[in-house]
Structure 1
Amino acid sequence: MSASDVSRFSRRRFLGAVSVAGLGTAVLTACGGSDSGSTDSKGRTVFEWWHIQTSEPGKSLWAEQAKAFEKAHPDIRVKIVALENDAFKSKVTALTGSGKLPDLYNTWGGGVLKQQVDAGLVEDITEQVKGWIDELVPASRKAYEFDGRTYAVPNDIGAVGFWYNKALFKRVKIQAPPATWSELLDAVEKLKAAGITPIALGGKEKWPGMYYWAYLAIRLAGIDGMQKAADAKDFTGAAFVKAGEHLKELVDLGPFQKGFLGAAYSGPTGQAATMGNAKAAMELMGQWAPREEAAQGKGLGDDLGFFPFPAVDGGPGKSTDVFGGGGGYAVRKGGPKEAVEFLKFFVGAEANRKEVEGGVLPVNKAAQDALDDPNLKAVLDLLNKSTGFQLYLDQAYPPAVGQEVNDSVAALIAGSKSPEQVTRSITQVAKSQ
């Protein structure tokens, strides 16, 4: 997935059900027909590939990959359907209701994919990917595996961490990136005292703020504690309340830019532009941040650095436990086997190296040598050394629960909910599912 597509869309993936009114029957008949795939006038097997690469360089790169596969497999044709993220979600929601998904389609795994699997709409490709799925980074595969079975193949992976302006840190004599939560709060106070906005935040879209609560919860509850809470549908434990209390400590320092509650992530006055134009010292964001900072603002060049989310005292979570996610592709139930063959090609070392040009962190272990950006190498190193991996909460949980996490944390940041109310609201929605 290209950084621009990720940055604009990836963190708005599972914010609840989307309206499908007015989509019409054309949408419902857009996906592949027979279980074996359709055939064109030249006798080639045709399958549709739905993805969200609508901007460059990803749009052209994905098309080039399809053509390269067709050249190597002249009896197969890949029909690309490229959709903007929100349109994609709407159409896939409509197709889910109709009982048949596209032949090969974009997925972020987690709760939504699990619901599609439970509805019998997704092909179990466990046996088909044996022999090559182990070439991929283990953390990249977790979001697509349920009960030991594989239902999708990842094509990118990433992690959230702090991106910071080295020049602004140097100006206030912060010698090293914060390694603990208390050190982060100290850095915020130093930056504020010098008249520098410590942190850029797109509060309007809610998901950027969720990252703080999620990482604090991971540090205080641990990866196992996160899973136990999800299984029990109960987030009222002390670790989750404490996560909210720590976030409130940060919010009370007034670390964000003026107007942050109405700021989007992208756009000329958004979080990425604020960071990219050196109007703030830090942002907590995924691996797509550098490209989006440069696209929305001027970019920081050599002044841009990266550091992991700090350690937090009082819980079993490790500083090497990572929060993140990625993108992948699933095959509809009964979909053509040629679609899985394409996935094998698409995440192969050679193809994966080319996708690095589109801002993708390689999922194929043999393709990691293609990455030369030092900051993205730092993200990949964080992933390779991770002791635990937690999928984005608004992906890991069912859509309604993910929506409530985003909404409740946004309310805490805005000052309209307490830490305890956040945990009670999330739990209430979780138990209703």
Structure 2
Amino acid sequence: MMRISRRSLLGLAGAGAAGLALGACGDGGSGSGGAAGGTIRWWHIANTDPMLSAWADMARRFEAANPGVTIEITALENEAFKTKLTTNIQAGDPPDIFHTWGGGVLAQQAEAGMIKDLTADVGGWRDQLIPAALDAYTIDDKVYASAVDTGMVGFWYNKELFAKAGVTTPPDTWAGLLDAVGRLKSAGVTPIALAGKEKWPGHYYWAYLALRIGGLDLMRQAAADKSFAAPDFVTAGERLSELVALQPFQTGFLAAGYSTADGQAATMGNGKAAMELMGQWAPTVQKDSSAGKAGLGDKLGFFPFPAVDGGRGRITDAFGGGGGFAIGRNAPAKAIDFLRFIAQPDNARIEAKTAGVLPVVKAAQDAVTDPNLKSVADILGSSTGFQLYLDQAFAPAVGQQVNDSVAELLAGQASPQDVAAAITTVAKQG
């Protein structure tokens, strides 16, 4: 049984699928066979500007410094990326460099021999990273990816809409959140924006409620037992059902994407909803998705997921993840050099400033100047525990079932008991 560290790091979110090939003069070649040069196939999920262009520029600079190397980029939206990567992995043809959230998915890829053991290589720049940077990518004391960014999920809220509804302070209890939802609805404000179509944003609610009710021990026990039958998971569904009963989401949320023109981020960024539960990248995507690319500016605030009365979890326990890059089994040697290049402080600063992420490179911490991002960093910095996204912490089939079952609960098509039972069935099969 593989041991997977529980602390994690966080990835960027993106919109519609896109592909971009970067050509450079040189000897061409293939990404397989371990040649010093050749073509490096790089798959990532920063598929919208500004980071799409920033990554492309970084690749061009690396090509210029390494004659004979060509970096071929494929940039995909989260779910499209997962589907395409799964297909390639099953065919025994992983990309040379690809995004990973760590956890159970990375463990399966390592067990199947699809990725390189980077323990010795990452040792060359490990001291540049924050202490917990590589935990999510460490399996049986071996490192299988290099970290890029870190963060957590919480509630982003529109201060102006809260004031309109008479909600003077962000709620710090679940009962307080439900009360705020009621006040917002009474004021004619849509309380929460949600991308129901994409499913992964919905699982945040159930996972966070389970974390607040049962604590980190509940999650660890579920992993050990391959079971979500504990009463606390059912209770999490019951608490989420309380929210669903208030009809807090925007009209048509079940068909809404995350970063589409009329999706969750745009609904929030255009001031049409008061809250969204999302990671620290949210302000960037809100702005990019909003009319005129304006976003909410200083109207935007952040608060941690509330505590649940009687719960054993602490409000200071964080839930989220991170973004890193793994190396495919047949990648050329220069692929590892590119990871080292990305980890240079100046390049880490570019990502932090451009994409609105928390860097894992120590020297790049000074690039975090956005007040909202600093708020997330402060909360994360004082966290007492950390839980990786459930759709990444567990095996892919289990993670998908979490997303599917919670989506059914949000649509009124499954009970809290149904959710726990369905996920347990899939977990037991693994």
Asked if residue 405 in structure 1 is aligned to residue 402 in structure 2, the reply is yes
Q: Counterpart of 2:416?
A: 419
Q: How does 1:89-108 map to 2 (within 5 A)?
A: 89-108=82-101
Whether the 8 Å CA contact 2:177–2:306 is kept in 1: the answer is yes
Aligned to 1:302: 298
In structure 1, distance between residues paired with 2:309 and 2:396: 31
Equivalent residues of 2:32, 2:332 under 8 A apart: no
Structure 2 CA distance for aligned equivalents of residues 236 and 4 of structure 1 = 30
C-alpha displacement at 1:261, in angstroms?
2.1
Within the candidate set 51, 56, 61, 1:63 is matched to 56
The 2-side partners of 1:8 and 1:332 are apart by 25
RMSD: 2.4
Q: Quote the sequence identity (%).
A: 54
Q: CA deviation at 1:152?
A: 0.2
Residue in 1 that maps onto 2:123: 130
Amino acid at match of 2:412: G
Match of 2:22 in 1: none
1:110 aligns with 2:103: yes
Name the residue aligned to 1:43. none
Q: In the aligned structure 2, how far is the partner of 1:254 from the partner of 1:91?
A: 35
Provide the residue aligned with 2:185 in structure 1: 192
User: Is 1:6 aligned to 2:5, yes or no?
Assistant: no
Q: C-alpha deviations, 1:215-270, integer Å up to 9, x for none?
A: 01111121232021022111111211111111111111221222222222232332
* Mapped partners of 2:261, 2:388: distance in 1: 29
Cα distance in 2 for partners of 1:191, 1:261 equals: 20
Distance change (3 Å), C-alpha of 1:88 and 1:176: closer
More displaced 10-residue stretch of structure 1: 98-107 or 215-224: 98-107
Residue of structure 1 in register with 2:378 after alignment: 381
Gaps of 5+ in 2: 1-9, 18-28
The question of 1:319 aligning with 2:319 is answered: no
Classify 1:4/1:277 alpha carbon distance in 2 versus 1 (closer, same or farther; 3 Å): farther
Q: Which residue of 1 aligns with 2:147?
A: 154
State the number of aligned residues.
405
Q: Is the 8 A contact 2:40 2:70 kept in 1?
A: yes
Q: Is the 8 A contact 2:11 2:321 kept in 1?
A: no
Match of 1:350 among 346, 360, 379: 346
Distance, in Å, in 2 between the alignment partners of 1:300 and 1:9 is: 23
> What is the TM-score when the length of structure 1 is the normalising length?
0.87
State the AA in 1 paired with 2:180: A
Structure 1 residues 255 and 54: CA distance shift in structure 2, 3 A: closer
Is residue 227 of structure 1 aligned with residue 226 of structure 2?
Answer: no
CA change 1:384–1:80 in 2 (3 A) is: farther
After superposition, the C-alpha distances for 1:154-201 in whole angstroms (9 at most, x for unaligned) are: 112221110101011112222211111111111111112222111111
The offset of 1:39, in angstroms, is 4.2
Separation (CA, whole Å) in 2 of partners of 1:363 and 1:78: 27
Change (3 A) 1:275 1:408: same
Q: Distance in 2 between matches of 1:315 and 1:399?
A: 28
Deviation of residue 91 (structure 1)? 4.2
Whole-angstrom CA distance in 2 between matches of 1:118 and 1:273: 40
